[in-house]
Structure 1
Amino acid sequence: SGVAVLAAEMPGKKHVLFAFVSEDMISRGVRADALVREVSAFVGGRGGGKSHIAQAGVEDATSIEEALHAGASAVRALLRKAKA
């Protein structure tokens, strides 16, 4: 059970974001595709995928830390909403 949002530097200095969401978290309203779109907005990127796995390109690598913090906040907000 869990959610992960990761940033990686790929060959050629390209950066990407990945989001992974377990099935039980999907049933609670957390989707990897929506999460990666929200997080990638902080780094000038765009992305997509499926409910359990998604990825996005990164245009501004200097904002990756802020983006990852935003991802954590987004997950907390979704889980609070699911409990309500």
Structure 2
Amino acid sequence: MGIFDKAKDLAGQHSDQVDGLVDKGGDMVDERTGGKFAGQVDQGQDFVKGQYREGEVPPADVPPADAPPAEAPPADAPPAP
């Protein structure tokens, strides 16, 4: 068992405490970005929480960790038909 497996097991055993830390980190990001990325931060929080909770599956709208980031169209691009 590697160090990351041990960390994941410990986080799962103390999920209520880790949830608070994940929420606090997300709140700090929201505060520093003025809430500009609140949706993405919430998705990230849900994904992280799903990683250490036993048997819990992250929401379907959260992309896999190895997925490339979604690209936004240029600001001056015409709307898609």
TM over 0.5: same fold? no
Which protein is richer in helix relative to its size?
Answer: 2
Q: What interval of TM-score do these two structures reach, taking the shorter chain for normalisation?
A: 0.3 to 0.5
TM-score with structure 1 length normalisation? 0.37
Larger radius of gyration: 2
